Amino acid sequence: MIISQDTTAYFNNYELMFVTGHPRSGTTITHALVCSSEEVNDYVPESSYLTGLVNNFITGFNNDAHNVDFFGGKQAFVDYAGKQIRNFVNDCWIGFGAPKTLALKDPLMMAGLDAFKGIFPFAKFVITLRDPYEVVSSFCKVRQRQGAVVDAAMTEGLARNAALDYERAARFKAANSNQVLLFHYDSLFDGSYLKKLSAFSPNIVCNPDKVWESNFVSKKQKKDSAWHTEKYGEKPENITRNEPELNDAQRSIVKRVTVPSYEKVIREL
């Protein structure tokens, strides 16, 4: 294969951090808080391109019939594809001003946590958690805005997806304790987020007055998006808790499908 530059040594110059968690669990405000720190890059939207690269890595890793012959062996594939992904992240670091901490965020990283850890064994991870009733309720609203009929089957699917991510978070925290912060959405309401984030990394000193400020983003989110929330762009002190809008049948589904996994992961807090 053509040899591309290996920039792995660049990681000696900064701390790499990924912010993720189940969608609708507070990943965006958490990332914005992290990025309000002087030593962290300015706020940027989802790094979905990076997640796509890692997903391609996973596909190739699980397809020996193609890649063993194409790359000359499995380890050769791992080395080559991993180098490409690491080079992209180092390009991000340079492009975002070479901060002491580079923080990138995407909720969809959750499905590939082990691959991210394999490619970036030195990285830190902030995984957001939120009450499962609130998560499923918020997701139901997204689906409704997208024109879907949110029935029992859809509610159960959303509840099951949340449970999967809670299980992933619990396993990942147990296996990589010092490199993982389980960050609960409720910490926004009691102010404890400041100490929790700075204890995880001394480079994170949140400045609530600078949340959402960025030299790299002019329009952070289209307000006509089904994913838009009225909390987007608000200062932490202005964020209030929304009561879950679920009927009794939906609550019963969440209690049966999601709550056991949620109770498991919060024991890791």
Q: What percent of the chain has pLDDT over 90?
A: 77
**Is 45 within the bounds of a domain?**
yes
For residues 242 and 49, which has the higher predicted lDDT (pLDDT)?
Answer: 49
Q: Say how far apart CA 145 and CA 236 lie, in whole Å.
A: 25
For residues 147 and 4, which has the higher predicted lDDT (pLDDT)?
Answer: 147
Average pLDDT score over residue span 233-256: 87
**Is 228 within the bounds of a domain?**
yes
- pLDDT attached to residue 3: 65
Average pLDDT, the chain: 92
Residue 132 — left, alpha, or beta (φ > 0 → left; ψ -120 to 50 → alpha)?
alpha
Domain count of the fold of the chain: 1
Calculate the CA 45 to chain-centre distance. Answer: 11
Alpha helices in the chain (DSSP H): 27-35, 48-61, 64-71, 74-95, 113-119, 132-145, 152-175, 187-190, 193-200, 248-257, 259-266
pTM for the complete prediction? 0.93
Q: Say how far apart CA 33 and CA 16 lie, in whole Å.
A: 16
**Is 149 within the bounds of a domain?**
no
**Is 164 within the bounds of a domain?**
no
Q: What percent of the chain has pLDDT over 70?
A: 92
Residue recorded with tokens 């959405």: 185
**Can you give the residue range of the structural domain that contains 45?**
12-131+177-240
Banded pLDDT at 220 (limits 50, 70, 90) = low
- pLDDT attached to residue 227: 60
- pLDDT attached to residue 269: 87
**Is 260 within the bounds of a domain?**
no
- pLDDT attached to residue 22: 98
Is residue 30 within 8 A of residue 126, CB to CB? The reply is yes
For residues 69 and 132, which has the higher predicted lDDT (pLDDT)?
Answer: 132
Q: How far is CA 11 from CA 17, 31, 69, 87, 94, in A?
A: 11, 20, 31, 10, 11
Is residue 132 within 8 A of residue 138, CB to CB? The reply is no
Q: Is the pLDDT of residue 229 over 90?
A: no
- pLDDT attached to residue 71: 87
DSSP 5: P
The CATH code of the domain that includes 16 is 3.40.50.300
Q: Is the pLDDT of residue 116 over 90?
A: yes
Q: Is the pLDDT of residue 146 over 80?
A: yes
Is residue 45 within 8 A of residue 217, CB to CB? The reply is yes
User: What are 10-32's pLDDT values in tens digits?
Assistant: 999 999 999 999 999 999 999 99
User: What are 176-189's pLDDT values in tens digits?
Assistant: 999 999 999 999 99
DSSP 262: H
Q: Say how far apart CA 61 and CA 51 lie, in whole Å.
A: 15
**Is 81 within the bounds of a domain?**
yes
| Residue 34 buriedness (CB in 10 A; 0-12 / 13-18 / 19+) | buried
Structure token digits, residue 241:
């808790």
**Is 156 within the bounds of a domain?**
no
**Is 120 within the bounds of a domain?**
yes
